[in-house]
Amino acid sequence: MDLTCSICLEEITNFNTKKTLSCEHMFHKNCINNYINNNYKCPICRNDKSSNIIINSTKELNLFQKIKLKNNSFVDKLKKFFTIPQLLEFMTYLNKNTIISGSFILSTILNEDYSNNDIDIYVDNEFDYIRLLKFLVRSKYTLNDQSINNIAYNYLDFLNSKNLIIYVDTFFNNNNNSIKIDLIYCKSNTQVICNCFDLDIVKNYYDGYNFYVYNLTKLLYKIDYIENNRITEKVKNRIIKYRNRGFNIDIL
């Protein structure tokens, strides 16, 4: 079968070097990886994948793009973690200095049914950090004494060497210890997210008012890639997790 990449106009002869978007159109991996950095529509059908997303602005400071959601399930997803009174109080703590990122926000943006049992909260000032510590204790969460050793970040050593992270506290729900909240006290929450996450698809956050994404196209088409020299055992497990969720993660 004669398959031609519509970006470079050359034949796709090796299926190991092709990538298929959710609209079933195929391209060379390198061609589409370069294309998606600046576009969020398929180059053939122009299929707009932003079914749950309202594009609100261009990227701010070339880092994050503000969006709105047609179906915002954020509050419903939080009900797993908090009672209604607790949830209402928690929402008052979110601001530009106290944000939520990671898989929880990813599934909210894409309107997925994926069950998240953990939340990552990034705080970059002491006042909000202490407020949240007290709130989580009042909300029947218990601090794990070995929190910083259990954190799942692959680049924790790198983060600490750059003096970005001050504390990492892991709280477990007293009634269900499979539910946990990681409270990350850092010097710059968006800098940690932008520079230190290994996959662009999880570089998104919510500040209580708006959702922000790092790479809209990768997120919408559920594709990403990572360099082989950054692969560790934890990264492999995370790649498997996201592939099981329908993401096409390539290793370059």
179-234: pLDDT as tens digits: 999 999 998 999 888 877 888 999 999 999 999 999 888 888 888 888 887 788 88
In the predicted structure, residue 76 carries a pLDDT above the cut 70:
yes
What domains, with CATH codes, occur in the chain?
Answer: 1-48 (3.30.40.10), 50-251 (3.30.460.10)
In the predicted structure, residue 159 carries a pLDDT above the cut 70:
no
CA dihedral sign of residues 34, 36, 41, 47: positive
Residue 96 tokens read as: 């530009």
Print burial letters for 233-250: b (CB count within 10 Å at least 16), e (below 16): eebeebbeebeebebbbe
Range picked from 4-8, 24-28, 174-178, 240-244 for highest mean pLDDT: 174-178
In the predicted structure, residue 59 carries a pLDDT above the cut 60:
no
Q: pLDDT-based confidence at 93, cuts 50/70/90?
A: very high
Q: pLDDT-based confidence at 22, cuts 50/70/90?
A: low
Q: Average per-residue pLDDT in the chain?
A: 83
Q: What's the rounded mean pLDDT across residues 56-84?
A: 83
118-128: pLDDT as tens digits: 999 999 999 99
DSSP per residue, 222-238: TEEEE-GGG--HHHHHH
DSSP per residue, 181-244: EEEEEES-HHHHHHHH-S-GGG--EE-SS-EEES-HHHHHTTEEEE-GGG--HHHHHHHHHHHH
In the predicted structure, residue 88 carries a pLDDT above the cut 50:
yes
Query: Which position has the higher pLDDT, 102 or 53?
Result: 102
DSSP reduced 3-state for 165: strand
In the predicted structure, residue 25 carries a pLDDT above the cut 90:
no
In the predicted structure, residue 17 carries a pLDDT above the cut 50:
yes
Nearest CA to 6 among 44, 48, 45? 44
